[in-house]
Amino acid sequence: MPRVFARNLSRKVQYVRRSAMLLAMDVGNTNTVFGIYRGAQLIKHFRIESVRTKTADEYGVLVENLLSRLSLAGDEVSAAIVASTVPSLGETFVRMLRTYFEIEPVVVGPGLRTGMPILYEPPRDVGPDRIVNAVAAFERLQSACIVVDFGTATTFDVVSPRGEFLGGIIAPGLQVAAEALFTRAAKLPRVELACPPKTLGKNTVHAMQSGLVYGHAALVDGLVTRLMREVSFDPIRVIATGGYAQLIAPLSERIESVDVWLTLDGLRILYERNRGGHDGAR
């Protein structure tokens, strides 16, 4: 038996005996978020920039150092699950986990058991983060729902009352919109993404903030309203996650709740559903 897999077997035994920790990794276009779970409890988390040119060795040293600063040892992590919207970077993190943590991670993708029928054409085209969010939201709400994720893109995903992933919407994210405005309009400055005092801007900065922040909230409410009319589920819940969820949700009339750790919790749920192996259809 190869050395790495022999150690993995030992780690699995340790996991059963002392409930060692799970490393959940959400690899996005802008940031990568890590969550450390002991059982169902998120005990530590950290966020780093997603840099596609970094090597597995560079990320290995970085992650080990971050764990050390959180008073965690690398050998306390006995399992991992990775969801990546950047395929090349996801592969880098998988190599890092194999080399530095001697873990063969669960990877969110085709063939993974999700417990959720994917009614999308073709199913393989759905971003793994969207599936993870949908699984977590339905597990929590046990109802038809719309998940709004404020990331590099702002995505809207609809889950049926039977727990089916029906599809959704992909729109430019808030930061992407702000950067486009700054780079394409010569006289407009780069502004902080924050709520201005009023919708009616009395200066350029406030006018831009109003258009970006209140405009994004209006976009969310408008698209959610259209989705609700189209699917006609009653009740249908609306939950938000992602980096700008806490900024936009209070301005929205449709978002009911915010869970900034929804994606990490979804990864934990999927890991538990696939602990015995990775067989089965998505």
Q: Are residues 148 and 215 in the same domain?
A: yes
CA angle 117, 120, 124 (to 5 degrees): 90
The CA R_g of the chain, rounded to the nearest whole Å, is 20
Could you tell me the pTM of the whole model?
0.87
Over residues 165-214, the pLDDT tens digits come to 999 999 999 999 999 999 999 889 999 999 999 999 999 999 999 999 99
φ, ψ of residue 206 in degrees (nearest 5): -65, -35
**Cα atoms in the 13 Å half-sphere on the side-chain side of 100:** 23
Q: Are residues 137 and 103 in the same domain?
A: no
- Tracing tokens 């969110």 back to the chain, one arrives at 108
CB 108 within 8 A of CB 264: no
**pLDDT-derived band of residue 282, with 50, 70 and 90 as boundaries?**
very low
Edge-to-edge, what's the strand order for the sheet holding 31-38?
41-49, 31-38, 21-27, 77-84, 106-107
Give the per-residue pLDDT at 72. Answer: 87
Note whether residue 231 is domain-resident.
yes
Q: What is the mean pLDDT of the chain?
A: 90
- Tracing tokens 């306390």 back to the chain, one arrives at 76
Q: Are residues 143 and 71 in the same domain?
A: no
Give the per-residue pLDDT at 278. Answer: 41
Over residues 113-170, the pLDDT tens digits come to 999 999 999 999 999 999 999 999 999 999 999 999 999 999 999 999 999 999 999 9
Note whether residue 180 is domain-resident.
yes
Give the per-residue pLDDT at 207. Answer: 97
Q: Are residues 228 and 260 in the same domain?
A: yes
Range of the structural domain that residue 63 is part of = 3-107
Q: Are residues 220 and 179 in the same domain?
A: yes
Q: Are residues 135 and 202 in the same domain?
A: yes
Q: Are residues 85 and 163 in the same domain?
A: no
Single out the catalytic residue among 129, 149, 157, 259. 129
Note whether residue 117 is domain-resident.
no
Residue 175's CB: how many other CB atoms inside 10 A? 17
**Cα atoms in the 13 Å half-sphere on the side-chain side of 112:** 24
CATH of residue 68 = 3.30.420.40
Over residues 97-106, the pLDDT tens digits come to 999 999 999 9
As a whole number of angstroms, the distance between CA 251 and CA 241 comes to 14
Q: In sequence order, what E strands does the chain have?
A: 21-27, 31-38, 41-49, 77-84, 106-107, 145-150, 153-159, 165-172, 237-242, 257-258
**91: burial class by Cβ within 10 Å (0-12, 13-18, 19+)?**
middle
Asked if pLDDT for residue 10 goes beyond 80, the answer is no
Which residue type, as a one-letter code, is found at position 212?
L
As a whole number of angstroms, the distance between CA 138 and CA 115 comes to 11
More confident residue, 93 or 17: 93
As a whole number of angstroms, the distance between CA 37 and CA 35 comes to 6
Asked if pLDDT for residue 279 goes beyond 80, the answer is no
CA angle 150, 152, 155 (to 5 degrees): 50
As a whole number of angstroms, the distance between CA 11 and CA 279 comes to 21
129 tagged catalytic: yes
Over residues 38-91, the pLDDT tens digits come to 999 999 999 999 999 999 999 999 999 999 998 888 788 999 999 999 999 999
Q: Are residues 86 and 180 in the same domain?
A: no
Query: Of 45, 78, 107, which residue sits at a domain end?
Result: 107
Note whether residue 278 is domain-resident.
no
- Per the structure, the count of domains in the chain is 2
Over residues 208-261, the pLDDT tens digits come to 999 999 999 999 999 999 999 999 999 999 999 999 999 999 999 999 999 999
Give the per-residue pLDDT at 126. Answer: 94
Give the per-residue pLDDT at 19. Answer: 52
